[in-house]
Amino acid sequence: MARQKTLSAKEALDLADKSAASGDKEKAMKYYGAVLEKYPDNQDAMDGVRRLNPNALFRADLDELEVLYKAGNIKEVEVKAKMYIELYPDVYELHNLLGAALVAQLKPKEALPHLKKATELKPFNSVPFFNLANCYKTLGDYPSAIKNYQRTLELKPGNVAALNNLGNVFMMMEDYDNAIGVLTGAAKLAPNSAPILSNAGRALKAKGDYLAVRRQNI
């Protein structure tokens, strides 16, 4: 029996383009999909799918938002995420990124519903709970912040950023015993982090435990 010829990416793209030009969207999608299955970052295939489905959201689009956020282009993240959410209201990454961007711009009230939505869509992912906790912290709702930092730590034990922020919330509430427990734990996990060591030292000093400060070399 003759072996079926395997198409190259270029051949599959050519067939997809021809099918699209002739109006056979289903066939075109089949060929574009085959290329993307093997080469997920193939720009020609993604562009072809976009032409057929102008509102399609790709992993590359979400990655672009992540890159923009990490680069500090917060306003651009806000604008693009809002645009995408109009089309894809149930993509948790969009709500999470938009919420984080709004908190970074000191718009926690606007961020809150998006971060809540993100935790509902991904209840076992620590990231949206961490961002939701940060939002409550910015709003001054410390009990809700504590609850969500604790949920973050349940999902990702040893999350130093969550421990540090949780300890700082306890400090704001003048709950120094809990602050010491959390912040010294964070310091053990990140012994080379000056900010975390400083926070642990502040908690011990607030409690008046200067001997412990010296012991920990803080």
Q: What span, in angstroms and rounded, lies between the C-alpha atoms of 144 and 26?
A: 49
Task: Kindly report the average pLDDT of the chain as a whole number.
Answer: 88
What pLDDT is attached to residue 213? Answer: 47
pLDDT digits (tens, 9 = 90+) for 170-203: 999 999 999 999 999 999 999 898 988 888 888 8
Give one DSSP letter per residue of 102-124, joined into a string.
Answer: HHHTT-HHHHHHHHHHHHHH-TT
**Residues 6+ away with beta carbon under 8 Å from 189:** 158, 160, 163
CA distances from 172 to 2, 38, 105, 190, 204 (A): 75, 52, 22, 22, 14
Residues 172/204, Cβ–Cβ less than 8 Å: no
What pLDDT is attached to residue 205? Answer: 85
Residue ranges of domains in the chain: 25-51+59-124
Q: What span, in angstroms and rounded, lies between the C-alpha atoms of 202 and 183?
A: 9
pLDDT digits (tens, 9 = 90+) for 27-82: 988 888 888 878 877 888 878 877 876 656 778 788 889 999 999 999 999 999 99
Kindly tell me if the per-residue pLDDT of 2 is higher than 50: no
Superfamily of domain 25-51+59-124: Tetratricopeptide repeat domain (1.25.40.10)
